[in-house]
């Protein structure tokens, strides 16, 4: 006697439907994973390739699950909808162990694979490289500045742009003067927060020459949207060195004229002024502070009895006492006499910067008495 079979045979057409559905999911997932990266910025670093591959994998898995869930929903709505006049309840159903094991195991395996894969990418992209170049980045509301060590002359080179070259591993050493910021270079596929009181780091190796945007990705105040800078990736070491040597030369031979020197200091981004002020002469477009265009003309008229140089001197060291109507108390106080203060501005720099601001007049003539300015500043020395 043959024992009666207790399973009903699965219909061939059902198997076909499931197979077709599965193929559709795989194909749809791969299609979305291949098409979406067309919207990405160029891959300009060694890290970018790995990050994008991981992202594609996540996209494929996510898209397949999305299509599965939406597909089942559509099939259920169409096939199992209540027919006209059918007011009965659906059949009562209770757990299906096989189904539950399957829908627990598959996601568990997917999550495990993602964990191992992404950990491997993280280890690879953050690993220290031999001969890496360290560049210090400072975030301040609302501007980036970069500093290079010149071991030969034992000086620091400041720049508003980040410079490096193809194939040179870079290690960013980052700190913030005020709130939290996030250093993001979309083309390099790297992003790292800057945290008050801590130094954070991030690494990348450029693989493509060109200029790419650096963006602040952490809401840090009203000028956050303008906190951008540029990374210049030179095609080779020689081109990079010619930029670097120029910068060293400028730093070693500051202009003798204090006005020129003050302008150079501001242009190099040694102080974070460009993040907040408009200044056509240097191409600044900050919005959170008063415009500096023509400030020399206004300086002598703002406070009765105060000369232009006194006004400019004090509004840099004591900005809270010199608020321009319509603007908040956002400017850091640049410390004149404490070299360890986070916003220390040495008296020589201060003198040069004020001397330059004095020349921002309609006529181009200085609005200040520089001898008097020297007397004021000498009190800080
Ligand atoms: Cu700095 Cu947003």
Confidence (pLDDT) at 256: 87
Residue 198: CB atoms within 10 Å: 10
Which atom of ligand 1 is found nearest the CA of 179? Answer: 1
Domain harbouring 239, CATH code = 2.60.40.420
216 within ligand 1 shell (Cβ under 6 A):
yes
284 and 230 belong to one structural domain = no
Q: Structural domain tally of the chain?
A: 3
Is the domain of 268 the same as that of 226?
Answer: no
Query: Which of 252, 287, 306 is a domain's end point?
Result: 252
Residues 243 and 264 in one domain: no
Q: How far is the CA of 220 from the centre of ligand 1 (A)?
A: 4
- Residue 7: the pLDDT is 55
In contact, 162 and 214? CB cutoff 8 Å:
yes
Under 8 Å between Cβ of 164 and 139: no
Residues 6+ apart with CB under 8 A from 251: 150, 153, 155, 156, 157, 158
Å from CA of 179 to ligand 1 middle: 8
| Residue 83 belongs to some domain of the structure | no
Is the minimum distance from the CB of 224 to ligand 1 under 6 angstroms?
yes
Calculate how far, in angstroms, residue 124's C-alpha sits from the geometric centre of ligand 1. Answer: 28
Q: Is 310 in the pocket of ligand 1 (CB under 6 A)?
A: no
Q: Which one of 39, 66, 93 terminates a domain?
A: 66
- Which residue CA neighbors atom 1 of ligand 1 most closely? 181
Cα of 149 to ligand 1 centre, how many Å?
A: 25
* Model pTM score: 0.79
Atom of ligand 1 nearest to the CA of 139: 1
Ligand 1 atom with the shortest distance to the CA of 223 = 2
My answer on whether 264 and 369 are in the same domain is yes
Query: Would residue 213 count as lying in a domain?
Result: yes
The answer to whether residue 48 sits within a structural domain is: yes
Distance 261 CA to ligand 1 centre (A): 29
Report the nearest atom of ligand 1 relative to the CA of 219.
2
Using CA of residue 356, residue 359, residue 364, residue 365, what is the dihedral sign? negative
Phi, psi at residue 203, to the nearest 5°? -125, 150
Tokens of 107: 């996601």
Tell me, what's the pLDDT at 176? 92
CB 99 within 8 A of CB 136: no
Q: How far apart are CA 356 and CA 340, in angstroms?
A: 25
User: In angstroms, rounded to a whole number, what is the distance separating the alpha carbons of residues 178 and 195?
Assistant: 9
Domain that holds residue 38: 21-66
Residues 268 and 247 both lie in one domain: no
Same domain as 189, residue 157: yes
229 and 289, same domain (yes or no) = no
286 within some domain? yes
207 plus 278 within the same structural domain: no
Q: Which atom of ligand 1 is nearest to the CA of 225?
A: 2
**Does the residue 96 lie in any domain?**
no
Q: Are residues 247 and 271 in the same domain?
A: no
- What would the two tokens of residue 73 be? 């929903």
Are residues 204 and 285 located together in one domain of the fold?
A: no
Tell me how far apart the alpha carbons of residues 369 and 306 are, in angstroms, rounded to a whole number. Answer: 12
Rounded Cα distance, 15 and 9, in Å: 11
Domain CATH code at residue 275: 1.10.760.10
Whole-number pLDDT of residue 1? 47
Do both 233 and 294 map to the same domain? no
143 lines ligand 1 (CB under 6 A): no
In a domain, 310, yes or no: yes
Residues 353 and 317 occupy one common structural domain? yes
User: Of 227, 252, 277, which closes a domain?
Assistant: 252
**Residue 353 forms part of a structural domain:** yes
Q: Is residue 16 part of a domain?
A: no
- Residues of the chain with pLDDT below 50 are 1, 3, 6
141 CA closest ligand 1 atom index: 1
Distance 22 CA to ligand 1 centre (A): 45
């Amino acid at each position: 006697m043959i024992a009666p079979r207790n399973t009903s045979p699965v219909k061939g057409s059902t198997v076909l439907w499931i197979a077709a559905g599965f193929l559709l999911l795989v194909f749809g997932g791969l299609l979305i994973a291949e098409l979406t990266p067309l919207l990405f910025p160029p891959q300009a670093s060694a890290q970018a390739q790995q990050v994008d591959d991981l992202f594609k994998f996540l996209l494929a898995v996510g898209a397949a699950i999305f299509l599965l869930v939406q597909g089942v929903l559509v099939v259920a709505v169409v096939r199992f909808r209540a027919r006209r006049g059918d007011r009965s309840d659906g059949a009562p159903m209770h757990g299906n162990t096989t189904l539950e094991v399957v829908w627990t195991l598959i996601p568990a395996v997917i999550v495990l694979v993602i964990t191992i894969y992404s950990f491997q990418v993280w280890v690879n992209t953050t690993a220290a490289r031999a001969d890496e170049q360290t560049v210090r980045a400072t975030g301040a509301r609302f501007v980036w500045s970069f500093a290079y060590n010149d071991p030969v002359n034992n000086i620091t080179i400041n720049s508003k742009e980040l410079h490096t070259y193809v194939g040179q591993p870079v290690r960013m050493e980052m700190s913030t003067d005020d709130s939290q910021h996030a250093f993001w270079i979309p083309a390099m596929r790297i992003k790292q927060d800057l945290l008050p009181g801590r130094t954070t780091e991030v690494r990348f190796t450029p693989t493509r020459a060109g200029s790419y945007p650096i963006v602040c990705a952490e809401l840090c105040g009203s000028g956050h949207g303008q906190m951008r800078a540029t990374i210049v990736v030179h095609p080779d070491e020689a081109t990079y060195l010619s930029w670097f040597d120029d910068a060293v030369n400028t730093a070693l031979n500051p202009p003798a004229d204090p006005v020129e020197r003050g302008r150079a200091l501001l242009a190099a981004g040694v102080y974070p002024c460009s993040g907040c002020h408009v200044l056509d002469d240097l191409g600044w477009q900050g919005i959170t502070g008063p415009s500096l265009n023509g400030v020399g003309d206004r300086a002598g008229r703002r406070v009765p009895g105060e000369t232009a140089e006194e006004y400019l001197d004090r509004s840099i060291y004591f900005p809270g006492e010199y608020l321009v109507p319509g603007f908040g108390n956002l400017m850091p106080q640049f410390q004149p006499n404490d070299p360890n203060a986070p916003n220390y501005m040495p008296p020589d720099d201060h003198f040069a910067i004020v001397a330059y601001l004095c020349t921002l007049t309609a006529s181009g003539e200085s609005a200040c008495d520089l001898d008097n300015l020297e007397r004021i500043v000498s009190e800080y020395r």
